[in-house]
Amino acid sequence: MLQKIRGNELKLQKLYRGKTKDVFLQDDGNVLLYFKDAVTGAEGRIDSGANEVIGEVAGKGNASLRLTVYFFDLLQKAGIPTHFLSVGPAENTILVKHARSFNLEVICREKAWGSFVHRYGKYAVEGAPLPSLVEFTLKDDERGDPLITEDALVALNIVSRETVEYMKNTARQATTLIKNHLAAHSLELIDIKYEFGEVEGKTMIIDEVSGDSMRVVKDGKVLLQKELALALLGE
């Protein structure tokens, strides 16, 4: 069917309508991701980790696109596989390989912040260093994206033990790379989340890697998507 994306008519089948992205299947089997200007948050405040869309910010989708292309390129040059192929044919789109998502978020934390402090406030102080601590959460809005243990992932046949270890190791490797790269631009990575999936039998990072998937601080302030693009890309 014809889908109109920012003035471009493309013959695509919509697979999924997300909060900040729409996903389309192409005739060649690859997938097109369309980044929207929608922002999530709670109580009127923008928060990329929230599950409710609270409005739009002009140019946010384009910032998401440019940051995702930038970080995927950084990862791939370091030998960390992703499903990214190229910038797409329409504005604010990228082309990626079709992946079977594990419906998990793999979070790597460098400092205690946000939900981590809320959960472990008796033991955790905001800003306290964490040793690239990895957590797994289910992508389940109805249940608030609950934490899940590594043993439960295996017991419920969501992923294998080998896949759990690969995701942990790869998340830490990618985080070290991104953290050091941001530090070279006077930016501090607090935490970052990845989505993994299976492409042609191989596990790899999928979806996006942008300001929507990481918390970055400059001069004591957590940067929004467009602010991170400006600080890192200079536009």
202 and 114 together in one domain: yes
Residue 75 shares a structural domain with residue 9: yes
DSSP state of 234: -
Domains: count for the chain = 2
Question: For residue range 15-59, what is the model confidence (pLDDT) as tens digits?
Answer: 888 888 999 999 899 999 999 988 887 766 776 766 777 778 889
Instruction: Indicate whether 85 and 169 sit together in one domain.
Output: no
22 near 16, Cβ under 8 Å? yes
pLDDT of residue 199: 97
Residues 6+ apart with CB under 8 A from 114: 49, 191, 215
pLDDT at 7: 54
Residue 177 pLDDT:
98
Last residue of a domain, one of 54, 69, 96: 96
Average pLDDT over residues 109-126: 94
Share of the chain above pLDDT 70, in %: 92
Q: Are residues 122 and 163 in the same domain?
A: yes
151 and 130 belong to one structural domain = yes
Q: Are residues 109 and 90 in the same domain?
A: no
CATH of the domain at 109: 3.30.470.20
Residues 127, 78 share a domain: no
End-to-end alpha carbon distance in the chain? 35
pLDDT recorded at residue 2 = 42
pLDDT tens string 153-171: 999 999 999 999 999 999 9
Q: How confident is the model at residue 141 (pLDDT cuts 50, 70, 90)?
A: confident
Is pLDDT at 88 greater than 90 in this prediction?
yes
Domain region containing 11: 2-96
User: What is the model's pLDDT at position 190?
Assistant: 97
Query: 62 and 114 share a domain?
Result: no
- For residue 156, give every residue at least 6 positions away whose Cβ sits within 8 Å of its Cβ, in sequence order, or none: none
Q: Decide if pLDDT at 4 tops 60.
A: no
Question: Are 150 and 228 members of one domain?
Answer: yes
Better pLDDT: 52 or 80: 80
CATH number for the domain spanning 77: value is 3.30.200.20
Q: What does the alpha-carbon distance between residue 26 and residue 89 come to, in Å, rounded to a whole number?
A: 11
Task: Give the residue from 96, 129, 151 where a domain finishes.
Answer: 96
User: Is residue 200 domain-shared with residue 141, that is, in the same domain?
Assistant: yes
| Domain end among 31, 61, 96 | 96
Q: Is residue 90 located within the same domain as residue 106?
A: no
pLDDT at 16: 81
- Both 139 and 209 in one domain: the answer is yes
Q: Which pair of structure tokens corresponds to residue 47?
A: 């928060």
In the prediction, which pLDDT does 1 show?
41
